[in-house]
């Protein structure tokens, strides 16, 4: 996939999240660590209702921009829903679930381990 396409997908996701007022939006470049995504986008929803609605809004935004929606996983009651549009995976969390899972910390740790392994070679 071309970088230009990936940047468009990321922009669509970030714009949609911004329009619907989710909080604590961040994105991580994971292309080096996973073969199925270039970016993880993480966002916190205020409640189950917003979590469910946001997943639908993301699907609509991707489809409107002719970006294929590959997956929508999870149920709002779990506090964590994933939507994959193109090469971008969006993780929608309730605050308590985001803190408990700490996906950001996991990815930072993965990056550190990867750097250590490269330094050993």
Window from 25-29, 88-92, 95-99, 113-117 with minimum mean pLDDT: 113-117
Asked whether residue 118 carries a pLDDT value surpassing 70, the answer given is no
Residue-wise pLDDT tens digits, 32-68: 888 889 999 999 999 999 999 999 999 999 999 999 9
Into which CATH architecture does domain 3-120 fall? 2-Layer Sandwich (3.30)
* Average pLDDT of the chain to the nearest whole number: 91
CB 51 within 8 A of CB 31: no
How do the domains of the chain map onto residue ranges? 3-120
Band of residue 2 on the pLDDT scale cut at 50, 70, 90: low
Contact by Cβ (8 Å): 44, 20 = no
- Residue 111 has a pLDDT of 75
Q: Is the pLDDT of residue 1 over 80?
A: no
Which strands make up the sheet holding 80-85, listed edge to edge? 23-29, 39-45, 88-94, 80-85, 69-73
């Amino acid at each position: 996939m071309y970088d230009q396409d990936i940047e468009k997908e990321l922009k669509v996701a970030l714009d949609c999240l911004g329009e619907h007022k989710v909080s604590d939006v961040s994105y991580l470049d994971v292309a080096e660590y996973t073969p199925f995504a270039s970016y993880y986008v993480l966002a916190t929803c205020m409640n189950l209702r917003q979590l469910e609605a946001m997943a639908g809004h993301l699907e609509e935004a991707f489809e409107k921009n002719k970006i294929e929606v590959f997956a929508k996983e999870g149920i709002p009651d779990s506090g964590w829903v994933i939507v994959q549009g193109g090469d971008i995976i969006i993780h929608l969390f309730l605050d308590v679930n985001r803190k408990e899972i700490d996906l950001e910390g996991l990815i930072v740790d993965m990056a550190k381990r990867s750097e250590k392994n490269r330094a050993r070679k």
